[in-house]
Structure formats: structure tokens, C-alpha cells
């Protein structure tokens, strides 16, 4: 796979997230009652088999490395003092060549705002990073910065009879993220501080032409069931 086709593959599963800096909430004011959120957002949430979780064991910002989980998924954590952390891992099949699977893995943390119109606005701390692996690309194993603001239009927490509390979030385009279940009411997170010193030589940004574009294209995560 050539770098350009890798970028196209990434483009096909990504779109640009809304960028405007939030000043005043727009839209309907939401009642954050038990019907809207059966429990508090504070804590750690994870999709699917819960293999992907925030906190130690997923990303190591000090040397910008990942420990690959057994399965794909997403995990979000929120603290009561306004910090969030996100871990995400996805495999993307290539339509033309099924053996050319692209792996996308992300870690980011920062400050969130719970807007009164029901949206969540997330402002990254500047030390997030991601890795794109493609077995068929010579330019695989890129480590790239990830420092994008993210707007989630809405969130709700339901109580499922068998699986407990379920967090349902909608992206900026109203697509639903995979449902996430509560892992713990205490957020499992890496320290709420700047964790990467400076952007160092650990990075290999030269290989992939327009790697910065790839980072931009990856702003949107995905909807789905895993
Ligand atoms: C909530 O307000 C923010 C800030 O104006 C806006 O960006 C977002 O789209 C609004 N959300 C909804 C669901 O209207
Ligand atoms: C729902 O979320 C709001 C806003 O964070 C919080 O004040 C409230 O306690 C939550 N409701 C429940 C039932 O936990
Ligand atoms: C990063 O640091 C961790 C913990 O010290 C270590 O286990 C891991 O092998 C390191 N990874 C890389 C790519 O240097
Ligand atoms: C990360 O993004 C935030 C929000 O846009 C910005 O304030 C901050 O300066 C950025 N940090 C870096 C290192 O780019
Ligand atoms: C998302 O849903 C809200 C509420 O139904 C609607 O006002 C908004 O236009 C939708 N946005 C998009 C991008 O579809």
C-alpha cells in the first residue's frame, strides 16, 4: 500500500470534527436528571469486551508507546474536576486486499466541558498521540501527535437490566459511538498533567507523506458495535 492510498483509506473512515471554540451553549437546555443519565458520568467506561481501557496498561506517553489490547474498542474516563482520557483501538480492513489490515490506536487526555445543551466539549492537553500500523505499507508504525478538540453532540446513560450502566455518546455528526459500560465509578487514568516532555526523536514523522494530514483525517472516531 502506498502512502497516498493509506491516506485515502484513512480519509474514507474519517471526517472533520467541528472545530469552533465553544463560547455560549446553543440549542435546547438539557435536564441532567435520572432519565437523562441514570448515574454520573464520572468514572471509566469501555465498549465491547472491555479490552480497551484508559489508565496504565494502554499507553505510555513518556516513550510514546502502546500496549496493544487483545480486542478493539474504546474507553472514556471522566473526573469530577473536569479531566477526560480516551483510549481507542480499531482495525480497519482494506477492501481490495483483506490481508492489509490497518491498525489505529489513540490515546489522549485533557479537559472537558459539560455543556448545558447536552454536548460534551473536549480540549486536549497537547500530549496525545496515535499510531497507525499497516502490514502492507513500508511507512507503517508511524507515531503521530493527536491534539484535536472533540465535540460530542450528546450523551445519555441508561441502566440495562443485565449489563448495568451504559454510556451512549453521539459524535459531532450525531453518529453513535459504540455503547460503553461502566468499568468503575472511580476513573482509571494516567496522571492529570503534561506527560510527554517535548516532541522528541521517538517520532518518525518523515516516512508518511502528509502525516499531519493523516492526523487531521483521524479526528473522527467511528460508530459501531465493538
Ligand atoms: C451546544 O452548544 C455548542 C456551543 O455553541 C455547540 O457547538 C453545539 O453544537 C451545541 N449542541 C447542540 C446539540 O446543539
Ligand atoms: C447526571 O449528570 C449530572 C451532571 O453531571 C449530575 O449532576 C447528576 O447527579 C447525574 N444524575 C445521576 C442520577 O447521577
Ligand atoms: C516504553 O516504556 C515501557 C515502560 O518502561 C517499556 O515497557 C516499553 O518497552 C517502552 N517501549 C518502547 C517502545 O520504548
Ligand atoms: C492542543 O490543542 C489545544 C486546544 O486546541 C491547544 O490549546 C493547545 O495549544 C494544543 N497543544 C499543542 C501542543 O499543540
Ligand atoms: C444532530 O441532532 C440534533 C438534534 O436532533 C440536530 O439539531 C442537529 O441538526 C443534528 N446534527 C447533524 C449534524 O445531523
- Section 13-17 average pLDDT: 36
Spatial CA neighbour of 131 closest among 14, 9, 215, 12: 215
- What residue owns the CA closest to ligand 3's atom 8? 65
Of the given ranges (40-54, 84-98, 125-139, 212-226), which has the lowest mean pLDDT?
212-226
End-to-end CA distance of the chain: give it in Å, rounded: 26
- The per-residue pLDDT for 223 is 39
Residues whose CB falls within 8 Å of the CB of residue 67, separated by 6 or more in sequence, listed in order: 57, 58, 59, 60
Phi, psi of 216 (to 5 degrees): -65, -40
| Strand ranges for 125-185 from DSSP E | 129-134, 142-145, 150-160, 164-171, 180-184
Q: Is 114 in the pocket of ligand 1 (CB under 6 A)?
A: no
Q: Produce one character per residue of 153-177: b if its CB has 16 or more CB atoms within 10 Å, e if not.
A: bbbebbeeeeeebbbebbbbeeeeb
Query: Ligand 4, closest atom to CA 148?
Result: 2
* Confidence class for position 155, pLDDT limits 50, 70, 90: very high
The single-letter DSSP state of residue 176 is: B
Cα separation, 45 vs 177, in Å, equals 12
| Percent residues over pLDDT 90 in the chain | 63
- The per-residue pLDDT for 19 is 41
- The per-residue pLDDT for 205 is 39
Q: What is the pTM of this model?
A: 0.84
125 versus 215: the higher-pLDDT residue is 125
- What residue owns the CA closest to ligand 3's atom 9? 65
* Confidence class for position 20, pLDDT limits 50, 70, 90: very low
Q: Give the cell for residue 218.
A: 483521524
Q: Is the pLDDT of residue 158 over 80?
A: yes
Compute the distance from residue 64 Cα to the ligand 3 centre, in Å: 8
From the CB of residue 96, how many other CB atoms can be counted at a distance below 10 Å?
A: 9
177 versus 212: the higher-pLDDT residue is 177
| Percent residues over pLDDT 70 in the chain | 75
Amino acid at each position: 500500500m502506498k502512502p497516498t492510498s493509506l491516506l485515502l483509506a484513512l480519509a474514507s473512515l474519517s471526517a472533520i470534527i467541528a472545530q469552533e471554540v465553544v463560547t455560549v451553549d446553543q440549542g435546547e437546555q438539557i435536564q441532567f436528571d435520572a432519565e437523562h443519565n441514570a448515574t454520573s458520568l464520572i468514572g471509566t467506561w469501555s465498549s465491547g469486551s472491555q479490552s480497551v481501557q484508559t489508565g496504565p496498561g494502554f499507553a505510555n506517553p513518556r516513550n510514546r508507546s502502546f500496549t496493544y489490547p487483545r480486542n478493539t474498542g474504546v474507553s472514556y474516563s471522566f473526573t469530577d474536576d473536569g479531566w477526560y482520557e480516551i483510549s481507542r483501538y480499531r482495525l480497519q480492513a482494506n477492501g481490495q486486499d483483506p490481508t492489509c489490515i490497518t491498525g489505529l490506536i489513540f490515546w489522549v487526555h485533557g479537559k472537558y466541558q459539560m455543556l448545558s445543551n447536552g454536548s460534551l466539549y473536549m480540549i486536549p492537553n497537547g500530549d496525545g498521540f496515535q499510531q497507525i500500523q499497516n502490514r502492507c505499507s513500508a511507512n507503517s508504525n508511524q507515531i503521530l501527535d493527536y491534539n484535536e478538540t472533540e465535540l460530542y453532540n450528546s450523551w445519555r446513560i441508561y441502566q440495562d437490566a443485565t449489563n448495568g450502566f451504559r454510556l451512549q455518546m453521539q459524535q459531532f455528526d450525531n453518529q453513535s459511538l459504540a455503547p460503553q459500560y461502566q468499568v468503575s465509578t472511580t476513573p482509571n487514568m494516567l496522571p492529570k498533567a503534561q506527560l510527554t516532555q517535548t516532541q522528541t526523536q521517538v517520532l518518525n514523522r518523515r516516512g508518511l507523506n502528509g502525516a499531519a494530514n493523516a492526523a487531521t483525517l483521524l479526528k473522527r472516531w467511528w460508530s459501531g458495535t465493538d
